[in-house]
């Protein structure tokens, strides 16, 4: 589900950019990803995540997708800036519930807060696991209903109302998809920040 104008204002704000940078640092400290890998960012919005991924992990390729054409246009505009010249970024309009990639083709998948926008979020998690190579890493920041569906935000923001998930549901879906949650993740009743590895048991 695409974001409405109040959320668009938030995701395109300098504060969101700053938060995303802090999360990028957390991901970098959380798990090792060798330079030269191939990365995917789902729900890339206006594209800020790609630069953070590039700076943190020096991948050979970053694929970033979003279902919202307007968001992708903003990302394409940003990509023309001089500072983005050397970022090996390919932008694509696509649905994170039906990833247009073959099995096991990515070293890492990044989710900066988009899975709660999916009607079938379990399919989204399964798709991430499908496109990750064995040993590939899923880095995620995800939020739960007490944050985005509290009495204030439920009036302001558009999110699917059915089939919602909290921490235990999200962690169970990772395990069901064969993604092992790595130690060091941070979770509250509002959100989770962490990494999970395909097939690796700690
Ligand atoms: C909360 S915004 C986050 C944007 C960006 N990742 C960030 O952190 O600033 C959620 C993004 O997910 C995108 N989105 C929603 N449903 C999607 C879907 N089914 N497939 C791909 N992207 C989707 C929205 O268009 C929006 O850009």
Q: How far is the CA of 66 from the centre of ligand 1 (A)?
A: 6
Token pair 């990803």: residue:
33
DSSP string, 30-55: HS---TT-EEEEES-TTSHHHHHHHH
What is the domain extent for residue 126? 5-198
Segment 190-197 shows an average pLDDT of 98
Nearest protein Cα to ligand 1, atom 10: 114
Q: Tell me the average pLDDT of the chain.
A: 95
Tell how far CA 173 is from the center of its chain. 16
User: Hey, which residues does 109 pair with through a beta bridge?
Assistant: 40, 138
Dist CA 73 CA 78 (whole Å)? 9
How distant, in Å, are the alpha carbons of 27, 159, 183 from that of 108? Answer: 11, 26, 17
15-23, Cβ contacts within 8 angstroms, sequence gap of 24 or more: 16/48, 17/48, 20/48, 20/49, 20/52, 20/112, 21/52, 23/52, 23/112, 23/141, 23/193
CA distance 16 to 34: 27
Please give the DSSP secondary-structure letter assigned to residue 115. G
Q: Which atom from ligand 1 is nearest to the alpha carbon of 119?
A: 19
What pLDDT is stored for residue 161 in this prediction? 94
Burial class (CB in 10 A: 0-12, 13-18, 19+), 136: buried
Q: Residue 135 belongs to a domain with what CATH number?
A: 3.40.50.150
Whether the model clears a pTM of 0.85, i.e. scores above it, the answer is: yes
CB of 113 closer than 6 angstroms to any ligand 1 atom: yes
Residue of 1, 117, 118, 143 best suited for mutating to test ligand 1, as the one with most atoms within 8 Å of CB: 117
What is the predicted pLDDT for the residue at 201?
56
Query: Is the pLDDT confidence value at 134 over 70?
Result: yes
Q: Is 79 exposed, middle or buried (0-12, 13-18, 19+ CB in 10 A)?
A: middle
167-187 pLDDT per residue, tens: 999 999 999 999 999 999 999
> Which residue's CA is the closest to the ligand 1 atom numbered 19?
95
Candidates 61, 59, 51, 63; CA nearest to 24 is 51
The string of pLDDT tens digits covering residues 70-116 is: 999 999 999 999 889 999 999 999 999 999 999 999 999 999 999 99
Question: What is the per-residue pLDDT for 2?
Answer: 86
Alpha-helical runs (H) found in 65-116: 69-79
For a pLDDT cut of 90, what percent of the chain falls above it?
89
Please tell me the number of Cα atoms within 13 Å of 57 on its side-chain side: 32
Q: How many domains does the chain have?
A: 1
pLDDT at 200: 63
Contact 16, 74 (CB under 8 A): no
């Amino acid at each position: 589900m695409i974001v409405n104008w109040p959320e668009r204002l938030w995701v395109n704000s300098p504060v969101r950019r700053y938060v995303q940078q802090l999360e990028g640092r957390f991901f970098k400290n959380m798990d090792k990803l060798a330079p030269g890998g191939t990365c995917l960012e789902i729900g890339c919005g206006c594209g800020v995540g790609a630069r953070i991924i590039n700076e943190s992990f020096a991948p050979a390729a970053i694929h970033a997708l979003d279902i919202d054409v307007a968001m992708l246009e903003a990302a394409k505009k940003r990509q023309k800036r001089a500072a983005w010249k050397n970022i090996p970024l390919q932008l694509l309009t696509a649905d994170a519930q039906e990833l247009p990639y073959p099995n096991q083709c990515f070293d890492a998948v990044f989710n900066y807060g988009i899975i709660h926008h999916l009607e079938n979020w379990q399919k989204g998690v399964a798709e991430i696991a499908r496109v990750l190579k064995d040993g590939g890493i899923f880095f995620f920041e995800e939020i739960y209903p007490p944050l985005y569906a509290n009495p204030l935000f439920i009036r302001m923001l558009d999110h699917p109302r059915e089939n919602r998930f909290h921490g235990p549901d999200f962690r169970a879906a990772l395990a069901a998809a064969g993604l092992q949650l790595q130690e060091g993740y941070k979770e509250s009743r509002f959100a989770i920040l962490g990494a999970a590895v395909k097939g690796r048991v700690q």
